[in-house]
Chains A and B, each alone.
Chain A
Amino acid sequence: MMNLVLAAQNADELLKGLGAVGAGIGYGAAAIGPGIGIGIVVGNAITAMARQPEAAGMVRTTMFLGIAFTEALALIGFVVFILLKFT
């Protein structure tokens, strides 16, 4: 790590590299929670649909709502990644 820091001769290069590392780790971390959350939402929706197929329409609508709210966190992480990486 120290060699890496020394190897980056000018500060700009170092800053850029660390920014890229931070962006990658940031997006990865932001995807963990929503990944688990969407898994739980869809899993439970499938259980509900299998138990009560006549309620499938209502369950599907609610499932998409749940996915939308959960997914928002991952997408905000993606936007932060884009901002860190490209600006």
Chain B
Amino acid sequence: MHLLATLEFPPIGHLVEWKSFLLPGFNKVALICVVATILTLLLFRVAGRQAQLVPTGVQNIVESIVEFVREGIIMQTMGPEGLSWLPFLTSLFCFIFFANIFEVIPFIQFPAPARMAIPLSLALLVWVLFNYMGIKSQGFVGYMKSSLFPPGVPKALYLLVTPIEFLSTFLVRPFSLAVRLFANELAGHLLLVTFAVLSAALFTKTFLVVILPLPAVMLVLLTGFEVLVAVLQAFIFTILTAVYIGGAMHPEH
């Protein structure tokens, strides 16, 4: 047992809580959010300043992002009427991606959405937006009717269906949207911490050093996996936003 004396998982507070600096409440998580916002702005500013017909360099990247959001997300879920949401969805995608990717950037290594406040505020923004769009395009009564009383259900079943629809549309949607991003990022962070702690603990002069490559290689592989998760979660958050807004604008008949 004494061989692995240094193997001790740090308490969760050490992993996700940071000291404030400059301003009260302004900590590492807030700084990452600010940096992610600036990076998003800068990316499109730099690419759009000298837009050329034949794109080069950073314009290539930005055009493929916009193309991806337009063809892969909006056209698949909202149809051509949703194209006015392209700027919002593109910036949402980029912001979440940049906030996530700090998980694997050396010396920062913390994804901002691993604190509940960030995904929760994004999910509440989406909640307000899709309800606003629903009320705007169908009127309050029409929106409530289409979201609480789905057509094609026997009359008596509405006693059961309406409460379920109310819960799932207005309460579970923002909750699951926030929790999905939060839990994925926190789980990824804890996973990387676990393997980093294990690698550090095995870095000893005892015979245990022979199994050191296992967690170390796993750590490298998981870092690559976290990049994948960062992109995937940004994509899923954006596509669910598009589905919710599109569904509020055009109810099923």
Contact = CB atoms under 8 A, between A and B. Distances in A.
B179 A61 contact: no
Interface string A53-83: 0000110010011011101100110110010
Given A61-B239, A64-B236, A72-B179, 19 more contacts: A61-B73, A61-B76, A61-B77, A64-B232, A64-B235, A65-B239, A65-B240, A65-B243, A68-B239, A69-B176, A72-B180, A75-B179, A75-B183, A75-B187, A76-B176, A76-B183, A78-B183, A78-B186, A79-B182
A5 to B, nearest CB: 23
Interface of B: 11-12, 71-73, 76-77, 176, 179-180, 182-184, 186-187, 232, 235-236, 239-240, 243
B57 to A, nearest CB: 27
Classify the interface of chain A: helix, strand, loop or mixed. Answer: helix
Size category, A interface: 10 to 19
Contacts of A64: 232, 235-236, 239
Contacts of A79: 179, 182-183
B12 A82 contact: yes
Contacts of A82: 12, 186
Given A57-B76, A72-B180, A86 B239 contact: no
B96 to A, nearest CB: 14
Contacts of B239: 61, 64-65, 68
B21 to A, nearest CB: 25
B179 A57 contact: no
Given A65-B239, A78-B187, A72 B176 contact: yes
5 contacts: A64-B239, A68-B239, A69-B176, A75-B180, A78-B183
B180 A86 contact: no
